[in-house]
Structure 1
Amino acid sequence: MLRTLGHRVRVMGLALAAALTGSLLAAGTAAPAHAAVPATIPFKITNNSARGDQVYIYNLGTDLATGRQGWADANGTFHPWPAGGNPPTPAPDASIPGPAAGQSTTIRLPKFSGRVYFSYGQKLVFNLTTGGLVQPAVQNPTDPNRNILFNWSEYTLNDSGLWINSTQVDMFSVPYAVGVQRSDGSTATTGRLKPGGYNGFFNSLRGQPGGWANLIQTRSDGTVLRALSPLYGLETGALPANVMDDYINRVWQKYATSTLTVTPFADQPGTKYYGRVSGGVMHFTNSAGAVVTSFQKPDASSVFGCHRLLDAPNDQVRGPISRTLCAGFNRSTLLTNPNQPDTGSGAFYQDNVTNHYARKIHAQMADGKAYAFAFDDVGHHESLVHDGNPRQAYLTLDPLN
């Protein structure tokens, strides 16, 4: 998933591929070899939204062969972005006409790591800085895309296959599902809401005390556009800065007198790290008793963003431990289970202090899977499909009900 950049200009620069989390890229590079993946694969977009608006499609990202940033047209041909400016300059129109309601359009996906955006009724506004593409940042009330109904999926297609997800890391908005047709003709899909799940999510969020209803953004005509992620809720003042403090404090108190055991790799059960709080800092030791990394007590922003005090570098020690802590804090399982991560979801979000945004999203998913925060893939609870030799990929625009 793309890491959030708050109110700062969000730039899709050279670090895009590295910014995608483990399931999309780390898994991709580690996957076993398969039959040769073609240069492009078909991507069928079906409009089951029942809306009459014109749909616009964008395929933006990193060309994995060259590392260059750009966009792909409907045929999967790569077009590099021209140089940007300061202030930002308008990007070339990369839009592809999408299908009308009840119809489908097939485009080609090239070997990219990036995003497929789709918008209803209006084209999205993209600009270029000297650092790359400026993406929509609707937590900013002056962003030109603030009043447009849109969403996106993230994907990586490389020589090891396709990884494609649905994501709510930045926001929950117009619903869609993604899928892949495997080489044997079978299909795998994820991201679909339960019947009534779209309205069910917003109604549930409206009823959650503590500022959570303030995450919802509407247009002046009353149209519900999206719910911001809790991280953006903190940055915009929709959520109080201390929204997670009570739980965080209880975790720090518990592990001052007991041990938190983290086994970060499912395929390496012998690799364990042991956390204890001393002097207000949680120190993790390895099996030999040596301290391998330490964490200051996080705040709500660190928890919801899986960053700052819970930074997760792409290494083999701190990053995997931090991912596990982040998942445990968002799911509020660190007090009930001293052996992390959890593989079953039955105990998730049971504390009164939790990531209610993530809780409510997962509750409305048909398969229970979602990317409701950056490391929702810990324990494989993410809405991701993969195939090493895909025949075709799918994106289905679902009804807003």
Structure 2
Amino acid sequence: MRTTTKWLSALTALALATSVAVTSTPAAAIGPDLLPLTVTNNSGRSDAVYLYVLGTDIRNGRLGYVNQGGGFTPWPAGGIPPTPAPDVSIAGPGNGGNVTVRVPRFISGRVYMSFGEKLKLSLTPDGFVQPAPWAGDANKNILFDWSEFTYNDAGLWLNSSQVDQFAVPHAVTVTGANGATKRTGDLVNNGRDTVINAIRNQAGFGNSVVTRSDGTVLRVLAPSKAAGAGLMDANYLQSYIDQAWGAYASKTLTVVPFGDQPNIKYFGRTSGNTMAFTNTSGQQVASFQKPNSAHVWGCDGNLQAPNDQVVGPIARTLCAALHRSTLGRIDTQPGGGPGDFYQGALTDHYSRIIHQNMVDGKAYGFAFDDVQAQESLVHDGDPRAAGIVLTPFGAGGGNPQPNGNSIVSNWHGKCVDVPNWNFADGQRLIVWDCTGGTNQKWQFVDGTVRTENNKCMDVAWGAVTNGAAVQIATCSGNAAQQWVLSGAGDLVNPQSNKCLDIAEWNPNNDAVLHIWDCVGGANQKWHRG
């Protein structure tokens, strides 16, 4: 069944909440009224590309479309059965080219990208009907995908999304007033094929790969859509859900939903199929019936998350933990880190495989993948430009950047930093808030990790003991300068078989780096930014 779009993803809810907070004390708008968004085609495909900017004016709730110049037009009335929508496509870039569109302030919605054929859009009296190829609609044989965005006085939020399907590889970017550009969503080299083949070979998931008659893989359906279409077992997760839910009949689940408010805690215990939560005063504040697989895949039903400050945050946390198979194993949630996620035999292998094949490990594999900041989202409070990059379908990818990548801590999002741009041999490395500066840019070259001026990350004096300082030094090819960034996020010096580690779990700027036994701690987990 096709549904009328409401344009309220997790991203949109976050942005709207921020907007409300901002407008409660009126502030001057920042960023341009019409934000330039450039779509670059590095896909390697020769198909014509069509773009659509569709969404909601969040000031009045009207659904509509945006033309290339940034003009927003509400949709005309549709009918029952749905009637064809006007052709609002924008000619997209050919391979190797780019096209810039303008996004007006106060719009929340999606940028669709279709290859080879225009989308077939329709309208009802209630509004726009979202393309739903998993439900067999008229777009089922079209290769297309989308990114989600919200642009308001609090800035721009832009993310790639795999919540419904994995189809067109693409990255998203935002450039702020300071000139720094943030980028996420890049697949590793040959990542699309790797994801498709891994899901095709994963027991229970293989039928979710959808191939057109000409051999083109159009999409991999997310479990919620694949199960709904009868392409995977509708009860796939149930035995894990039963075990995880039942675990809290004999122990307490602690939910700390706000990372910046650690004193807000809720305590859950299970009785029968009901998990009830109390606050720190012992008052019951929420209860949930045991979900089924569909509720977990969709983060709805018994896990419906209202836009409040108690029930919604607990529901989001529960749903994320069930997707990542940490509920029942880790009793404070959100809990663990990427190395702890998706460990069960019955888990969200779709999200697991996609995350493993992202350069920075970030993806929007399910609705609340933003719990613990695992989502492929860029945000800037004062944006000047944005971008969507259609990346290679085959070999290629990895976001090659001549100016290097940041190395970002999964724990708190700070970057490996050469303090004060002092590139002298022996300068010890630290972590600092990510600024995009050249002292935070690193290139992975022949097993070394190098600054832009060709100094190497180095274990001081070639030491192999815990606590040995990590510094920069002239590149010499010695084993103290060899590093491997594993798929689990460990940055390992093979000579010592030890990990790059934030010393003493210091959460602050200026925390020094050293090597330590690899224990899987969050202070040892890294990704390229």
Normalised TM-score (structure 1):
0.94
Structure 1 range deviating more: 116-125 or 20-29: 20-29
Match of 2:133 among 118, 138, 143: 138
Aligned twin of 2:302: 309
What displacement does 1:20 show?
4.7
The answer to whether the 8 A contact 1:280-1:297 is kept is yes
The residue aligned with 2:228 is 235
Asked whether the equivalents of residues 18 and 154 of structure 2 are also in contact (C-alpha less than 8 Å), the reply is no
Q: CA, structure 1 residues 18+193, in 2 after alignment: closer, same or farther (shift >3 Å)?
A: closer
Q: Aligned partners of 1:126 and 1:360: how far apart in 2?
A: 31
Cα distance per residue 1:129-172 (max 9 Å; x no partner): 0110011111122x110000000000000011100000000000
Select 1:16's aligned residue among 3, 7, 12. 7
Cα distance per residue 1:255-303 (max 9 Å; x no partner) = 0000000011112111111110113211111112121111111110010
Aligned partner of 2:215 in structure 1 is: 222
Find the counterpart in structure 2 of residue 95 from structure 1: 89
C-alpha displacement of 1:344? 2.1
Question: Residue 43 of structure 1 contacts residue 392 of structure 1 at CA under 8 Å; is this kept in 2?
Answer: yes
Deviation at 1:234, TM superposition (A): 1.3
What letter matches 1:25 in structure 2? L
SS at match of 1:346: helix
Residue 28 of structure 1: how far off its partner (Å): 4.8
1:395 aligns with 2:421: no
Distance in 1 (alpha carbons) for counterparts of 2:18 and 2:360: 21
Tell whether 2:363 aligns with 1:370.
Answer: yes
- For 1:85-164, what aligned pairs fall within 5 Å after superposition? 85-111=79-105, 112-141=107-136, 143-164=137-158
Equivalent residue letter for 1:36: I
Counterparts of 2:162 and 2:10, CA distance in 1: 16
Which residue of 36, 44, 66 maps to 2:30? Answer: 36
CA spacing shift, 1:17–1:328, aligned 2, 3 Å: closer
SS at match of 1:25: helix
Is the aligned partner of 1:61 residue 2:52?
A: no
What is the SS of the residue equivalent to 2:111?
A: strand
1:88-126 per-position Cα deviation (integer Å, ceiling 9, x unaligned): 111111100001110111111112100000100000010
Give the Cα separation in 1 of the matches to 2:39 and 2:221.
25
Counterpart of 1:189 in structure 2 is 183
Query: How many positions carry a matched residue from both structures?
Result: 390
For residue 343 of structure 1, report the CA deviation from its aligned partner.
5.7
Instruction: Give 1:181 shift.
Output: 0.7
After alignment, is 242-251 or 122-131 more displaced?
A: 242-251
Residues 308 and 17 (structure 1), Cα distance of their counterparts in 2 relative to 1, 3 Å cut: closer
> What TM-score comes out, normalization by structure 2 length?
0.72
1:26 aligns with 2:20: no
CA-CA distance at 1:24 after TM superposition: 3.9
What's the counterpart of residue 169 of structure 1?
A: 163
Return the alpha-carbon distance in structure 2 between the equivalents of residues 138 and 194 of structure 1. Answer: 27
Q: Which amino acid aligns with 2:223?
A: P
In structure 1, the residue matched to 2:275 is: 282
- Deviation (angstroms), 1:34: 7.2
Q: Which secondary structure does the structure 2 equivalent of 1:202 belong to?
A: helix
Other-structure match for 1:3: none
- Output the CA distance in 1 between the equivalents of 2:117 and 2:147: 18
The answer for unaligned runs of 5 or more in structure 2 is 395-529
Secondary structure of the equivalent of 2:148? strand
Match of 2:75 among 78, 81, 88: 81
Using the alignment, how far apart are the partners of 2:223 and 2:295 within structure 1?
Answer: 11
Q: 1:301 to 1:335 in 2, by over 3 A?
A: same
Does 2:262 correspond to 1:269?
Answer: yes
CA contact (8 A) 1:17 1:62 kept: no
The Cα offsets for residues 186-214 of structure 1, whole Å up to 9 and x where unpaired, read as 1000111011110000110111112x011
Cα 1:18–1:247 shift into 2, 3 Å: closer
TM-aligned CA deviation for residue 305 of structure 1: 0.3
Instruction: Report which structure shows greater RCO (CA 8 Å, sep ≥6).
Output: 1
Query: What are structure 1's unaligned runs of at least 5 residues?
Result: 1-7
By how many angstroms is 1:23 displaced?
Answer: 3.9
- SS across alignment from 1:16: coil
Larger Rg: 2
The amino acid of 1:132's aligned partner reads: G
